[in-house]
Chain A
Amino acid sequence: MIKPENQISIPTQVPVGPKFSIPLRFRDRRRLTILLTIIVLTYLTIITLPTMVPNQFKLGAALMSFAENIKIMFLQPHLANTTFVALLAALGQSILLAFLTTLIGSMLAFFFALASTRRLAPTWLVLGIQSVMAVIRAIPTVLWVLIYSVVFGLGANAAVIGITFHSVAYLTKVYADSMDELSPEIIETMQAMGLKKSAIIRQAVIPYMIPSYLSWTFIRFEINFADAIAVGAAAGAGGIGYQLFMSSSFYFNFHEVGVMVYLILAFALVLEIISYRLRTLTHQ
Chain B
Amino acid sequence: MNSDVQQVNNFFNNKRFRLSVILVILGLAYLGASIGLGFQTRSLLNVQNGVIWLIQNFIPNEASKGYWNEIIKQLFRTFLVAVASTTCAAVASLFLSIIGAKTLTPAITISWVIRAFSSLLRNIPIVAWAMILLFSFKQNDLTGFLALFFMTLGFLTRAFMETIEDFGTEKIQALQATGATYLQVIFQGLLPEVAVALMSWVLYMIENNVRDATLVGLLTGTGIGFIFNLYFKSLRYGAAGLVVLSVIILVVAVELISNLIGRLLS
A interface with B by C-beta (< 8 Å) = 1-2, 4-11, 29-30, 33-34, 37, 41-42, 44-45, 47-49, 51-54, 57, 62-63, 65-66, 69-70, 73, 92-93, 96-97, 99-100, 103-104, 134-135, 137-143, 146-148, 150-152, 155-157, 159-161, 226, 229-230, 232-234, 241, 244-245, 248-249, 252, 254, 257, 260-261, 264-265, 268-269, 272
Contact = CB atoms under 8 A, between A and B. Distances in A.
B83 A4 contact: no
* Across the A-B interface, the 9 shortest Cβ-Cβ residue pairs: A248-B131, A138-B251, A268-B123, A66-B136, A65-B136, A4-B204, A233-B127, A48-B84, A100-B33
Contacts of A147: 50, 53-54
Given A10-B197, A48-B80, A244 B33 contact: no
Given A135-B252, A156-B38, A45 B84 contact: yes
**DSSP class of A's interface residues: helix, strand, loop or mixed?**
helix
B199 A142 contact: no
B33 A99 contact: yes
B219 A143 contact: no
A185 to B, nearest CB: 23
Nearest to A100: B33
Contacts of B196: 8, 10, 30, 34
B38 A52 contact: no
A44 B128 contact: no
Interface of B: 26, 29-30, 33-34, 36-40, 43-44, 46-47, 49-50, 53-54, 80-81, 83-84, 86-88, 119-120, 123-128, 131-138, 140-142, 145, 155, 158-159, 162, 193, 195-197, 199-204, 208, 211-212, 214-215, 218-219, 228, 232, 244, 247-248, 250-252, 255, 259, 261-262, 264-266
B53 A272 contact: no
Contact of B132 (A52, A70, A155): A70
